[in-house]
Structure 1
Amino acid sequence: MTTAPATESTTQEVRDAGHVDVLIVGAGVSGIGAAHHLREQFPDRTFVLLDGQETRGGTWWTHRYPGVRSDSDLFTYGYRFKPWRGPSIAEGKEILAYLDEVIEEDGLEPHIRYRHRVTAASWSSDEGRWTVEVDRGDTGERLRFTTGFLWMCQGYYNHAEPYRPRWEGMERFRGPVIHPQDWPEDLDYEGKRVVVIGSGSTASTLIPAIAQKAAHVTMLQRSPSYYFAPPVVHELAVQLRELDIPEEWTHEILRRQYMQQYHWLARTSLEAPDEVHAFLMESIRPLLPEGFDVEKHFTPRYRPWQQRIAIVPDGDFFAALREGKASIVTDTIEEFTETGIRVSSGEEIEADIVVTATGFNLSAFGDVAFTVDGEQVDFPERLTWRGVMISGVPNMAYMFGYFRHSWTLRVDLVADLVCRLLERMQDRGATVVVPTLRPEDADMAIRPWSDPENFNSGYVMRSQHVLFKQGDREPWTHMLEHEEEQEVLPKADLDDGSLVYR
C-alpha cells in the first residue's frame, strides 16, 4: 500500500500546535505503556499522545458490546510495572479503570489530546524532524505538530470500519444487522431470536452475555475455533491471597505462572500439535451437552495456535449450550431471507437480529499517509527491524504486541528497546537513526508479514498486501514467540550496522 497525503490537507488552513521531543500516536494499552516508560527513563523530554477517539482505551473504548472482556489473563495483559489486583479475566470496564489508574499515577492526562486523528506524517532530513498533520474532531480544525521522534502506538485495526462480508439477500432481512464494533447502546434483544455469525472470541463472549435475555441465540459458524475454559479466578491467586502477601508478589508470581503456561502451549503446539489438540478437546468435552457433535462443531481445520484460542472463562459459553439458551450451526450461508438466514443444507435459521462477529480490518499504521523527504512510503516494499522500526524510515518506532500471548507483554519489551535506542542516540550525539539493510543482507530472502504456516487468521491473511515484509534473518524478522523474544530484545545489538546514526 502506497500512502499519499490527504487532499484536504492542502486546501484547509493548518494551525501550528507546537513541537515535542517524542510524539506518541494512540492512547490505548500501547500508547499509555509507551508514555510510562518514556517518562520514567527520560523525565526531561517533552511528549504528547494523540488519539482520534473520544477518550482513552483504544480497543476497550471501541468495543462496548455486552460481555466484552479480555481473552488474555490480566496478570500478563497488565503492565509489569502496575500490579493487577482483580480476577484473571476482566471485563472491558475493569481494564479501562486500570488504565485510568496508570494515567493518574503517571500524570499523563495533561499530555493526552483526544479527538486528534493523525492523517499524515512527513519526515524532513533537512529539518531533522517529523511534521504530523491532525484532524481535530471536536472543533473541525486541522493542526500541525512537529517532533523529533514518532512512536506509532495506534493498534493494528481500523476502529471506524470493521470487516463486514456481504451475503446474498441481506437487504431483504427485516431486522437489524449489527457488527459488535458498532454495537448500539439502545439495542433491545430481550425475547428476540439472535443469530451471531462467527466462532471466535467475540462470538463466544457475546453469546453467554445476551443468552440470558434473548429468546434464543444461534452461533452460525463456517468452521470451528479452538476454545479453552479456564477459571475466572486462578486457583493459585486464591491461595496466595489467603496468605495475605503483598499484591506485588501475587502479581509477579501469577504473571510468571501464566507466562510459563503460554510458553508451553506455543512450544508444544508447534512440536506436538496432536497432543495440544487432544488436550483442548478433552478439556471442553465434559462442559458440552450430552451427545454433542464435537467433531463437527469444535474441531478446527488448522492446528492449535495457528489462530488464537478463544478463552471461555468458567465455561459460560458452554453453559449457555447446556441450558438450551444457545445452539451452534456449522454451515455456510446461502442467503438472507426476510426472517432469517438460509444455509447451504437448506435449513433456515429464524432471526430477529443478526450480529456479524466477523472480525476487523488490519490497518498499516492507522492508514496515516507517510512521506520521507517528499517521497511516499510504500510499506509493502519495506522491511521490519525487529518488529519495532521500518527500513528506510527515520526516527519512527511502532508498537505491535503478540497474537498468541498477551499483547502487553510485548509493550513492555518494545518500550525498553526504544528507550535504550533513544539513550544510544544521546550517547553518540546522534539526532537521527534509520534502519538500513547492510551489504550482507543483499541476498536475504523476503518473506510475507505473516507466514500462513505460523499464523493464518482471516484478518491477517486478508491484509498481507497492505503490510510491510520481513527477512530471513535478524534483525529483519518479527513475530517471535515471547519465550524467545524476552531473551532477544533486551540483548539486541544497536551497533550491528543495521541502524545508521547521524
Structure 2
Amino acid sequence: MNEFQIHDDRRREHPAPDHDVIIIGAGLSGIDAAYRLQESDPTIRYLILERRANIGGTWDLFRYPGIRSDSDIFTLSFPFEPWRRPEALAQGPDIRDYVTTTAAKHHITEHIRFGQHVQTADWDSTTDTWSIVADTDEGEVTYRTRFVYFATGYYDYDEPYTPHFAGIDDFTGTVVHPQHWPADLDHSGRRIVVIGSGATAVSLIPSLSERAAHVVMLQRSPSYIASMTQHHRANTVVRKVLPAKAAHQVIRTRYAAVTAAMVHGLHRFPKIGRKLLEKGVAKELPEGYPVDEHFSPSYNPWDQRMCMVPDGDLFAAITDGRVEMVTDRIDRIDPTGVVLTSGRHLDADVIVTATGLQLLAFGGIRIRVDDAEIKPHDRFVFKNHLLEDVPNLAWSVGYTNASWTLRADMTARAVAKLLRHMRSHGYTHAYPHLGPEPMAAQPLWALKAGYVERSPEALPKSGTRGKWRVRHNYYRDAVDHYLDDVEESMVFG
C-alpha cells in the first residue's frame, strides 16, 4: 500500500473536523481574534475554549485593589469598539466589563465554552487536523479543528513569581501575592509593606493607602515612573465633533503615535530622557525629596517597561505621607515585619509580594506534530505570530513597549487573511519554513525585566532578518502588515 492510499484511508476514517478554528482564551486577544475571523468570513465555524468561568483573561484573574491598565486604554481597547469612558488609564473592572459587553454585542459569547482547561494540542498530517484535549468538570473532552489560535497570553495563571525570603514562615501577619488577592482581605488601618516596584506595585499602592494605616513601597532598585494625564482636553473636543467610532480611531492613533515617539526618543537619547523623567518626578514631589535614591534606575529608559501612574496618584500619596518609598535589600522576614540589610525594621501587618510573573508560552499546553513534541524555545517565530514548521497554528503576543492590543489585532487580521487565502485555494495546511540557510537567534523580548531574564527558554526565539525578526515597533509592523505577501516563506498544501 503506497503513502497516498494510507492517507486516503485515514481521511475516510476521520470525518471533517467540527470547527474551522479553535481559539484558546477569551481575554482581549481571544475576543479580538473572534471578531476579526467572523468579520472576514461570517460563515466560519469557530469556537473559543476558556479555562475560567468568565470572559476577560488577565482582567478577570487579577482582582487586587487599584488594578488598572499600565498603558493607555485607547490603544489597549479594540479598534472596532470605542472606549467611551474619559480616563486614559482604565480600572480593571471597567476593562473587564468592556470586554464582556463587546463579546456579547458582536455575538461572540455564544461561541465560548467555559471551564475548558486545554492540556494538549495534537496535529495529524494525514488528516490535516488538530485534536484539542481539554479537562472539564465532566471529564476529558476532545475537539477537532483545522486551525488553532493561541490567545493564552504569556504568563503562568497558576504560579506567580515569588522569591524565597528567609523567615517568611515566621511572619505572623498576612502574606499575599497580587495575582491571588483574597476577596475577604480587609487592609483597613493596617501597616502594609509592598515588595516590588513594577506596574502592579504602583497600581496597588495608592489604592491601599486610602484605607491602610501606612504603606511602604520596598524596592531593591528603582524603576522609571511617569505621570499620565487622565482626562485630556483634546479627547473631549474630538468626541464632540466626530461620531463615536471615528473619534475613537483619532484618539487611538494619537496615543499610539505619542507612545511610539516617546519610546523612540528615549532610546535615541537615553541621557536626555533620563534627566527629563527624573525632572518630571521631582516636580511631583516635595522640594528636597531624594529622587536620585528612589527614582533613578541603573538602566536606560525603556530597557524595561515604564510604569505610568494616573495624574501622579503615587506621588500624591508619597507627598501626603500615606506612602513611604524605601530602596534597600531584604535581609530576612521576622514575626513582625521585614528586616533590611541596612538594619532597619519595617513593621508590617500585611506583606504584599508584588514580585512579578512567571513566563509561560502557549498557556503551558503541550503541542505535538505527528506525535513529536514541539518545544517553543526551539522554534523561530515568523511574522510575529506563526511558529516555524508548525502547521495551522497562530500565537497572539503583544508589544512590550506599547499596548498589547495593537499587535494582537494586527495578528488577528493577518490570520484572517491567511485563512481566506487557504480557503480560496483549497489548502488544508500552511506553515512557515525557514529553508536551508541558517539564521542566528535572538530573544523574543529584548527587555531587561526580571520575568524575562529568569526564563530565557520560556518563549520562542526571534530571528535576525526579514519577517523572522520580531520587532517592537508598531508603525514598522503596520507597514509590513499592509504590504504583506501571504505566501512569503510559507508552505501550503
Q: CA deviation at 1:404?
A: 0.8
* Residue range with higher mean Cα deviation, 377-386 or 394-403: 377-386
Q: CA deviation at 1:277?
A: 1.4
Q: CA deviation at 1:56?
A: 0.5
Match of 2:385 in 1: 388
**CA RMSD in angstroms, aligned pairs only:** 1.4
With the length of structure 1 as denominator, give the TM-score of the two structures. Answer: 0.93
Match of 2:7 in 1: none
Q: CA deviation at 1:320?
A: 0.6
* Contact 2:25-2:49 at 8 Å conserved across structures: yes
Provide, for residues 101-133 of structure 1, a one-character-per-residue CA deviation record: whole Å limited to 9, x for no partner: 211111111110111010000000001100000
Match of 2:222 in 1: 224
Q: CA deviation at 1:276?
A: 1.7
Provide, for residues 284-316 of structure 1, a one-character-per-residue CA deviation record: whole Å limited to 9, x for no partner: 211113321111100111111111111110111
Provide, for residues 421-455 of structure 1, a one-character-per-residue CA deviation record: whole Å limited to 9, x for no partner: 1112122221100111123xx2321223333xxx2
**1:194-343 pair list within 5 angstroms:** 194-241=192-239, 243-343=240-340
Local SS of the residue matching 1:120: strand
Local SS of the residue matching 1:494: coil
Provide, for residues 38-68 of structure 1, a one-character-per-residue CA deviation record: whole Å limited to 9, x for no partner: 0111111101001111201000001110011
Q: CA deviation at 1:140?
A: 4.0
Q: CA deviation at 1:244?
A: 4.8
Local SS of the residue matching 1:464: coil
Provide, for residues 237-256 of structure 1, a one-character-per-residue CA deviation record: whole Å limited to 9, x for no partner: 13334x45422232122112
User: Aligned AA for 1:47?
Assistant: Y
In the alignment, the residues of structure 2 paired with residue 464 and residue 479 of structure 1 have an alpha-carbon distance, to the nearest angstrom, of 17
- 2:437 corresponds to 1:446: no
- 2:433 corresponds to 1:436: yes
Q: How many residues align?
A: 477
* Contact 1:307-1:456 at 8 Å conserved across structures: yes
Among residues 450, 472, 480, which one is paired with 1:480 in the alignment?
472
In the alignment, the residues of structure 2 paired with residue 41 and residue 56 of structure 1 have an alpha-carbon distance, to the nearest angstrom, of 23
In the alignment, the residues of structure 1 paired with residue 261 and residue 166 of structure 2 have an alpha-carbon distance, to the nearest angstrom, of 44
Match of 2:124 in 1: 124
Q: CA deviation at 1:160?
A: 1.1
Local SS of the residue matching 2:294: helix
Q: CA, structure 1 residues 140+416, in 2 after alignment: closer, same or farther (shift >3 Å)?
A: same
- 2:394 corresponds to 1:397: yes
**1:403-442 pair list within 5 angstroms:** 403-439=400-436, 442=437
Q: CA deviation at 1:203?
A: 0.7
Q: Which runs of 5+ in 1 are unaligned?
A: 1-15
Local SS of the residue matching 1:31: helix
In the alignment, the residues of structure 2 paired with residue 338 and residue 204 of structure 1 have an alpha-carbon distance, to the nearest angstrom, of 26
Among residues 448, 458, 465, which one is paired with 2:450 in the alignment?
458
- 2:109 corresponds to 1:105: no
* Contact 1:79-1:408 at 8 Å conserved across structures: yes
Local SS of the residue matching 2:461: coil
- 2:162 corresponds to 1:164: yes
Q: CA, structure 1 residues 320+276, in 2 after alignment: closer, same or farther (shift >3 Å)?
A: same
User: Aligned AA for 1:39?
Assistant: Q
- 2:491 corresponds to 1:500: yes
**1:330-369 pair list within 5 angstroms:** 330-369=327-366
In the alignment, the residues of structure 2 paired with residue 240 and residue 492 of structure 1 have an alpha-carbon distance, to the nearest angstrom, of 32
* Contact 1:237-1:254 at 8 Å conserved across structures: yes
With the length of structure 2 as denominator, give the TM-score of the two structures. Answer: 0.94
**1:39-78 pair list within 5 angstroms:** 39-78=38-77
Local SS of the residue matching 2:325: strand
Local SS of the residue matching 1:312: strand
Structure 1's consecutive aligned runs of 4 or more residues displaced over 6 angstroms after TM superposition are: none
Local SS of the residue matching 1:280: helix
Provide, for residues 387-407 of structure 1, a one-character-per-residue CA deviation record: whole Å limited to 9, x for no partner: 111111110001001111010
In the alignment, the residues of structure 1 paired with residue 387 and residue 263 of structure 2 have an alpha-carbon distance, to the nearest angstrom, of 27
Q: CA deviation at 1:232?
A: 1.3
In the alignment, the residues of structure 1 paired with residue 73 and residue 125 of structure 2 have an alpha-carbon distance, to the nearest angstrom, of 42
* Contact 1:67-1:206 at 8 Å conserved across structures: yes
Match of 2:483 in 1: 491
Local SS of the residue matching 1:21: strand
* Contact 2:400-2:445 at 8 Å conserved across structures: no
Match of 2:4 in 1: none
In the alignment, the residues of structure 1 paired with residue 238 and residue 464 of structure 2 have an alpha-carbon distance, to the nearest angstrom, of 44
* Contact 1:289-1:321 at 8 Å conserved across structures: no
Provide, for residues 362-390 of structure 1, a one-character-per-residue CA deviation record: whole Å limited to 9, x for no partner: 11100101110011112221111121111
